[in-house]
């Protein structure tokens, strides 16, 4: 195996990985774990996420593709069908952003999305993210069971009449934040885990609320993932906990973190892209914003929510 590219962040690494795989070049991302510890380690090639190809014989081809990605002549939609230049009519291969005949830019493409919940949300630009990467943040799972009829019904209701997917995302976020009760705030003993369970219960811990929000977003064809923070449980930093929230992919802004845990005195999470306004911010030594955006909730979270069905036990 050979290293072919060093990215500035995990999202970029997975984007490049997807491009190479479109050309049939098998590869993997390494170094994401060290990226998470970047506050304690210097930023070097060893602590940044890197792309390693499986077949060394394709190194030169892979290197050329990553160089074209860096200089902007290769898009994340590489390998698609040809496009016609609006200026001179020349047919250009899909991986190029400029016409090789006259230099004109590739025209902006738009699409009307029919959401998975059955509605539509206006004209939205085709994402620059690789489709194979996006699908990881859209698929249904046992926990993010957005194909459940109750989830689909609520997702369609929340997106109805919204001008675009960003406004649909705002509607889903504010509903989960305000209408699904946090079991710690209300001393509710029921512990729910899957999105449909949380919807039925009308309550959940922070992780559970993030599961429901992800399901509602995915049902509306909006990519959604999971993020975590390491937060202090007291002022002196002697005890820490893991807090769960979401990241949503918005065409206008890219990945954007949102926290649906529920507002209260001292907590005021909002949907204000591109500026984040989360429920909690890192303030003392030992706290951390963990950088990963996971397509699935962490296994340990799902295991604990399944094991302890009473809040006080949890």
Q: What are the sequence ranges of the domains in the chain? A: 2-74, 139-307
Q: In this predicted structure, which of 25-29, 146-150, 206-210 has the lowest mean pLDDT?
A: 25-29
Q: For 267-293, what is the mean pLDDT?
A: 94
Partners of residue 3 on adjacent β-strands: 52
- How much is the pLDDT for 125? 39
- How much is the pLDDT for 114? 47
Q: Dihedrals φ, ψ of 93, to 5°?
A: -60, 150
Query: What proportion of the chain, given as a percentage, has pLDDT over 90?
Result: 55
Q: Is the pLDDT of residue 136 over 60?
A: yes
- How much is the pLDDT for 138? 93
- How much is the pLDDT for 118? 56
Question: What is the torsion angle, in degrees rounded to the nearest 10, for the CA atoms of residue 122, residue 127, residue 132 and residue 136?
Answer: -60
Q: For 225-241, what is the mean pLDDT?
A: 90
Q: For 240-266, what is the mean pLDDT?
A: 94
Per-residue pLDDT tens over the stretch 44-70: 555 688 899 988 888 999 998 888 888
Q: Is the pLDDT of residue 173 over 70?
A: yes
Q: In this predicted structure, which of 26-35, 59-68, 87-96, 140-149 has the lowest mean pLDDT?
A: 87-96
pLDDT tier, 126 (very low <50, low <70, confident <90, very high otherwise): very low
CATH for the stretch 139-307: 3.10.620.30
Q: For 107-131, what is the mean pLDDT?
A: 47
Provide the sign of the torsion angle of the four alpha carbons 21, 27, 31, 36, taken in this order.
positive
pLDDT, mean over the chain: 84
Whether the model pTM is above 0.85: no
- How much is the pLDDT for 113? 40
Q: Is the pLDDT of residue 228 over 70?
A: yes
Q: Is the pLDDT of residue 152 over 90?
A: yes
Q: Is the pLDDT of residue 158 over 60?
A: yes
Q: For 199-206, what is the mean pLDDT?
A: 98
Per-residue pLDDT tens over the stretch 71-85: 766 644 444 456 677
- How much is the pLDDT for 78? 44
CA 284, CA 292: separation in Å to the nearest integer? 20
Fold of 2-74: Alpha-Beta Plaits (3.30.70)
**212/118: higher pLDDT:** 212
pLDDT tier, 128 (very low <50, low <70, confident <90, very high otherwise): very low
**106/6: higher pLDDT:** 6
């Amino acid at each position: 195996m050979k290293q072919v590219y060093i990215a500035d962040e995990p999202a970029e690494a997975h984007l490049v990985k997807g491009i190479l795989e479109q050309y049939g070049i098998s590869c993997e991302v390494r170094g994401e774990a060290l990226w998470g510890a970047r506050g304690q380690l210097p930023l070097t090639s060893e602590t940044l996420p890197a792309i390693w190809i499986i077949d060394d014989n394709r190194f030169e081809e892979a290197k050329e593709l990553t160089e074209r990605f860096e200089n902007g002549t290769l898009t994340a939609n590489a390998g698609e069908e040809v496009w016609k230049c609006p200026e001179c009519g020349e047919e250009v291969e899909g991986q190029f952003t400029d016409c090789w005949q006259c230099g004109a830019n590739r025209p902006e493409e738009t699409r009307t999305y029919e959401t998975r919940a059955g509605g539509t949300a206006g004209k939205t630009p085709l994402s620059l993210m690789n489709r194979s990467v996006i699908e990881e943040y859209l698929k249904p799972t046992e926990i993010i069971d957005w194909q459940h009829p109750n989830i689909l019904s609520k997702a369609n209701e929340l997106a109805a009449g919204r001008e675009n997917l960003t406004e649909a995302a705002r509607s889903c976020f504010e509903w989960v934040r305000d209408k699904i009760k946090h079991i710690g705030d209300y001393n509710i003993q029921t512990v729910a885990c899957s999105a449909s369970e949380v919807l039925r219960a009308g309550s959940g811990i922070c992780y559970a609320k993030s599961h429901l929000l992800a399901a509602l977003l995915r049902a509306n064809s909006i990519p959604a993932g999971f993020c975590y923070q390491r937060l202090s449980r007291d002022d002196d930093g002697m005890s820490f906990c893991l807090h769960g929230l979401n990241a949503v992919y918005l065409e206008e802004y890219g990945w954007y973190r949102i926290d649906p845990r529920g507002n209260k005195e001292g907590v005021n999470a909002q949907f204000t892209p591109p500026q984040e306004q989360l429920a909690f911010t890192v303030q003392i030594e030992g706290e951390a914003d963990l950088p990963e955006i996971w397509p699935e909730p962490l296994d340990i979270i799902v295991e604990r929510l399944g094991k302890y069905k009473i809040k006080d036990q949890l």
